[in-house]
Structure 1
Amino acid sequence: MERSAVRGTSAAPSLHHPLIAVAGLAIEASTFSPARTEAAAFHPRRGDEVFDAYPFMSPGSPLREAADWHGALVGRALPGGIVTRDAFESLTAEMLERLRGIIADHGPLDGLWFDIHGAMTVEGLDDAETVLLRRVREVIGPDVLVSSSMDLHGNVSADFVRLTDLITCYRMAPHEDELETKERATRNLVQRLRDHAGRPFKAWVPVPVLLPGEKTSTRVEPAKSIYRHVGEVAERPGVLDAAVWVGYAWADEPRNQAAVVVTGDDRDAVSAGAEELAAMFWAARDEFAFVAPTGTLDECLDAALRSDVRPYFISDSGDNPTAGGAGDVTWTLQRLLDDPRVTGLGQGAAESPRTVIYASLPAPEAVRTAVEAGVGATVTVTGGAAVDDLHAGPVTMTGVVHAIRYGDRDAKTEVVLRVGGLHVILTELRKPYHHEHDFTDLDLDPRHADIVIVKIGYLEPELFDMAADWMMALTPGGVDQDLIRLGHHRIQRPMVPYDPGDFTPDLHARMIDRMF
């Protein structure tokens, strides 16, 4: 890519300080949840506040100093339901207007960092990230170098690969390398511009496998070896980056499947690396298994109650808000409230009372009632199933207000209601509970609880380190681990596990040319 093709010969002095904008919208959006995601859920950052989310881009850092960076708009929402069309259009319009402003004030761009997730589903649209990037390209022009960073649970269509130039995704699940991945995307972009390196070759291979993240954790095989090999391919001569996406299993769109993209300056090395990774993923299609022992809720509770180790964690996986669940499915909580072994109340209660924590249930009216009553008061509240009532209705419970906390970024107000030994966390808005302080801030001690039940799939690092033992309950909800039970209708077929894996897919590398 010659400098004059981007900004004209008069801009040549800024060669060592390229002009780069930052933009993107990120969410996992389940099409199997009745929830809808509005614009405010993205907590959009604008201008310089965009960089607050990236420690490696702090003022004075090497990357920040290596280019003339300008934030347009970056939004990141908790996983949830489908994004409304109005939300998408309003956020997109503002993003484009801000990009136009950057160009008007500073001149044509050299590069764009497109920071997304890759699993955004929007009402009335397929392949929403491609639609968004196409509109961005109409503003910034065809010659601007675009570097996209993504979650490995995103989706990568051929059209998206055509619109981007550099592309990478996480290599760890849980995503302990999130910031490392984003830094790699920006570093590759800056280096490419400073070196006049131009556009790399891009090899894309779709792999007809679609699995939940809980079967593809890089903590265990076969994903552990596959993703280790991703790094090895990326280090080969002539290769710039390599990435494998497992796809997003809880949306029903034609693009949803595993995919491989390898980029670099050696066409043969890029093609060979992509085919090698795709073949490796396909060969392991029948080896992927859940990252933890699984069972029905009853089986998980029985195991936890029998166990001598504490704390024993149970994942309420079907309504996991960090995978796209509505968060207010009451199916599991109702069963806990009805089980005297859990609450310690009524006939069948254990002689030695247990401490059980449940996180969590959005129930704004119940929260208001508890707040008005105050800590120590006994209240009867009803809540849940306001969004997702497909599996169970609202629950009613009577308990003592154990704690109240205000001002959480996601939950707003949190309340702990103690029903016997069961401590139920109620929230004004849904919130994932991934960190020890999420509990200790509510006067709860998860390390010394008997059982901790969390709406999650695989345990995030702090929970994983805390758990003495762990099972994943295969519960119903918008992110049900039983994909066949959910019922996809629009994905491409054949597709494992929806079809027997005895067919031979085309795993040859598609060399993707630029769209413009």
Structure 2
Amino acid sequence: MTRIAVGGFLHETNTFAPTKATYDDFVHGGGWPAMAFGPDVLKTMRNINVGLAGFVEQAEARGWEMVPTISCGASPSAHVTEDAYERIVKVMIDGIKAAGPLDAVYLDLHGAMVTEHLDDGEGEILARVRQVIGKDLPLVVSLDLHANVTPEMVEHADALIAYRTYPHVDMADTGRAAAKHLELLLTTKQKFAKAFRQLPFLIPLSWQCSNDQPTKGIYQKLAALEDDAVPTLSFAPGFPAADFAHCGPSVFAYGATQADADAAADTVAALIESHEDDFDGRIFTPDEGVRHAMELAKTANRPIVIADTQDNPGAGGDSDTTGMLRALVRNSASRAATGVIYDPVSAKAAHEAGVGATVTLALGGKSGIPGDAPYQETFVVEQLSDGQFVAPGPYYGGRDMDMGPSACLRIGDVRVVVSSHKAQLADQAMYRYVGIEPTEQAILVNKSSVHFRADFEPIAEQLLICAAPGAMPADTATLPWTRLRPGIRIKPNGAAFAPANTLRSTG
């Protein structure tokens, strides 16, 4: 029987974010399943939208025996602590060492992990795996679309395969694709040639969405290039908030010959570069966005949905800034809701006060973001929850969620979801669990950049993007870069990075 060691370790690191990822964050998981070890990995990784779950399904269908090591993830944040990284990787590597005879290794990684002691968390994981299994055993990896792929990752893996959708509705599909490619490696007993291209400009998150052009068309053309000569081809737009040399978009191809791989990678890279002008769009200030939404709502039959993109906990924000809430209240928005504001202290106070009570709180604003502060106001407690629910939408894909003690607070005709754990608001259930029906609201403000679109686009009249103070600037040129590779443009058509220079946006 074919024996495959499997594991997963996922973190997207915003090196400019306020809070690091500790071991306990991976134990809990945030929006990811809780940490699992050994056989429990195979129990957890079933029928959910995660790369490892898709691989497990396909491995079982092929009759492969899996040797599970560890699976875990944590909400995007600043650096993974050295303690967390080394403890988790030790379990993974020790599990592979102890597995006995193996035919291959599959790992579900993110591709944009930076730790307190390593710029390239995944490159180091793959190097350590290679030390254990040798250079000949197949090693296949699924990656997030936002991976900042490094030469070391390409060197150590036989194949890196990235998601193709943002919102990431194809995470499990990417695990299935990894199983298919691994089967090809095991059947042919041949290595594929590799080609790797790094692109010359950073792409802001909001314009990476695969529902829109140009990204949608790029992925369509990429898929059409795959064939027997190039069995897998990936474009990772990158996570543009990691201050190290290999941050940025990349293309990686695997071909029957080096010429096949090079031709495919060059074709896709040239296509992406030709669309540099298109990776940009309109961003509203909080007041502009709220007022525009209120005007649109007068004739809309469905909610106007606003992305509070700069406090996206899916990109390293703490999900507690108050700029958009203030704008809703300041402009007297009605039938409006926003979430999720992460504030365990306020959630506890709401639970102690009880449903129907009024509470005066210093809500949110505790992560020290410039231009933000706690919102000192009196709220009505409308509903309470223990935070346990299922998120059935296409992004979370049926995951069990644990937001901890939570509340729906109301101020005027604005309702706020307040939680004790943070996760990106990318599912309608994240309103419903505290009694807010999202389809009945005129305006919804989601702490998310793009993932919310998977579940909210079908119910939205229109989508807007707002930039209130937060840890993940919508304009990548405003970040205080110090360690990018020289020459990469810090936004589409922006200034080229030069070490030790103070860079400013070109517009």
TM range (shorter): 0.7 to 0.9
Once the 2 structures are TM-superposed, how far is the Cα of residue 264 of structure 1 from its aligned partner?
2.3
1:53 to 2:70 alignment: no
Residue number in structure 1 paired with 2:501: none
What SS does the corresponding residue of 1:286 show, helix, strand or coil? helix
- Deviation by residue 1:17-53 (Cα, 9 ceiling, x = unmatched): 3210112311111111111111222232222232332
Partner of 2:284: 295
Corresponding position: 1:243 with 2:243: no
CA separation in 1, counterparts of 2:402 and 2:78? 16
Q: 1:62 to 1:204 in 2, by over 3 A?
A: closer
Which residue of 275, 280, 288 corresponds with 2:271? 280
Equivalent residue number for residue 189 of structure 1: 182
Q: How many residues align?
A: 467
Judge which range, 57-66 or 267-276, deviates more. 57-66
Residue 423 of structure 2 corresponds to residue 423 of structure 1: no
Q: 2:149 aligns with which of 150, 156, 168?
A: 156
- Partner residue in 1 for 2:68: 71
**SS state of the match for residue 75, structure 1?**
strand
- Structure 1 position 58, deviation (Å): 9.1
Task: Give 2:344's match in structure 1, choosing from 344, 364, 367.
Answer: 364
8 Å contact kept, 1:319–1:456: yes
Looking at structure 2, the residues matched to 413 and 502 of structure 1 have their Cα atoms a distance apart, in angstroms, of 45
CA apart distance, 1:246: 0.8
Distance in structure 1 (CA, Å) of the matches to 2:9 and 2:201: 25
Secondary structure of the 1:71 match is strand
Q: 1:63 to 1:454 in 2, by over 3 A?
A: same
Q: Which residue of 2 aligns with 1:21?
A: 5
Rounded to whole Å, the distance in 2 between the matches of 1:329 and 1:134 is 39
Amino acid at match of 2:12: E
Q: Measured at CA, do residues 57 and 359 of structure 1 come closer, stay the same or move farther in structure 2, by a change above 3 Å?
A: closer
Q: Is the deviation greater in 494-503 or in 69-78?
A: 494-503
The alpha-carbon deviation at position 191 of structure 1 amounts to: 3.2
Task: State the partner residue of 2:50.
Answer: none
Instruction: Output one character per residue of 1:340-389: Cα deviation in whole Å (capped at 9) or x when no partner.
Output: 513xxxxxxxxxxx211010211111111110111111111223233344
Note if contact 1:370-1:401 (Cα within 8 Å) is conserved in structure 2.
Answer: yes
* CA–CA separation in structure 1 for the residues paired with 2:41 and 2:354: 38
Contact 2:55–2:176 (8 Å) recurs in 1: no
| 2:91 alignment partner in structure 1 | 94
Distance in 2 (CA, whole Å) between partners of 1:443 and 1:501 is: 44
- For residues 57 and 9 of structure 2, the distance between their equivalents in structure 1, rounded to whole angstroms, comes to 26
Structure 1 stretch displaced more, 482-491 or 378-387: 378-387
Deviations 1:294-313 (Å, cap 9, x if unpaired)? 31111111111112213111
Task: For 1:381, give the aligned amino acid.
Answer: L
Structure 1 residue 280: Cα displacement: 0.9
Q: Look up the match of 1:4.
A: none
- CA distances 1:306-331 after superposition (whole Å, capped 9, x unpaired): 12213111111110011221212223
Question: Are positions 1:484 and 2:464 aligned together?
Answer: no
SS at match of 1:202: strand
Q: Paired residue for 1:173? A: 166
Which of the numbers 336, 341, 347 marks the counterpart of 2:328?
Answer: 336
How far apart in 1 are the matches of 2:104 and 2:283?
Answer: 46
Alpha-carbon separation, structure 2, partners of 1:393 and 1:242? 45
Please state if 1:378 is matched with 2:358: yes
- For the 8 Å contact 2:370–2:469, the answer to whether it is kept is no
Is the Cα–Cα contact under 8 Å of residues 216 and 289 in structure 1 kept in the other structure? no
User: In the TM superposition, what whole-angstrom CA distance separates every residue of 1:26-85 from its partner, at most 9, and x where no partner exists?
Assistant: 111111111111122223222223233243669886644431111111212222222111
SS at match of 1:313: strand
CA contact (8 A) 1:63 1:187 kept: no
User: Pairwise CA RMSD of aligned residues?
Assistant: 2.0
Corresponding letter in the other structure for 1:453: V
Partner amino acid, structure 2, of 1:165: D
Residues 1:398 and 1:75: Cα distance change in structure 2 (over 3 Å): same
AA at the equivalent of 1:371: H
Once residues 88 and 136 of structure 2 are traced to their aligned partners in structure 1, the CA distance between those partners, rounded to angstroms, is: 24
Instruction: Name the structure 2 match of 1:84.
Output: 81
Distance 1:77 1:478 in 2: 17
Which piece of structure 1 moves more, 177-186 or 43-52?
43-52
Measure, in 1, the Cα distance between the counterparts of 2:355 and 2:494.
Answer: 56
Structure 1 CA distance for aligned equivalents of residues 408 and 351 of structure 2: 10
Deviations 1:103-138 (A, max 9, x none): xxxx23211111111111111211111011112222
The answer as to whether partners of 1:35 and 1:388 remain within 8 angstroms in 2 is no
1:12 alignment counterpart: none
- Match among 293, 311, 315 for residue 304 of structure 1: 293
Change (3 A) 1:87 1:59: closer
Gaps of 5+ in 1: 1-16, 343-353, 504-516
User: What runs of 5+ residues in structure 2 fail to find an aligned partner?
Assistant: 27-33, 48-52, 389-400, 497-507
Instruction: Report what 1:399 is aligned to.
Output: 379
Displacement of 1:421? 0.6
**1:243 is paired with a residue of what secondary structure?**
strand
CA drift of 1:502 comes to 10
TM-score normalised to the size of structure 1? Answer: 0.86
1:451 is matched with which residue? 443
Q: Secondary structure at the match of 2:146?
A: coil
Which of the pair has more CA radius of gyration? 1
Q: CA deviation at 1:497?
A: 4.0
Mapping 1:463-502, distance limit 5 Å: 463-498=456-491, 500=493
In the alignment, structure 1 residue 215 sits paired with structure 2 residue 179: no
Q: CA deviation at 1:455?
A: 0.7
**Deviation by residue 1:242-279 (Cα, 9 ceiling, x = unmatched):** 00111110111111111111102232211111111111
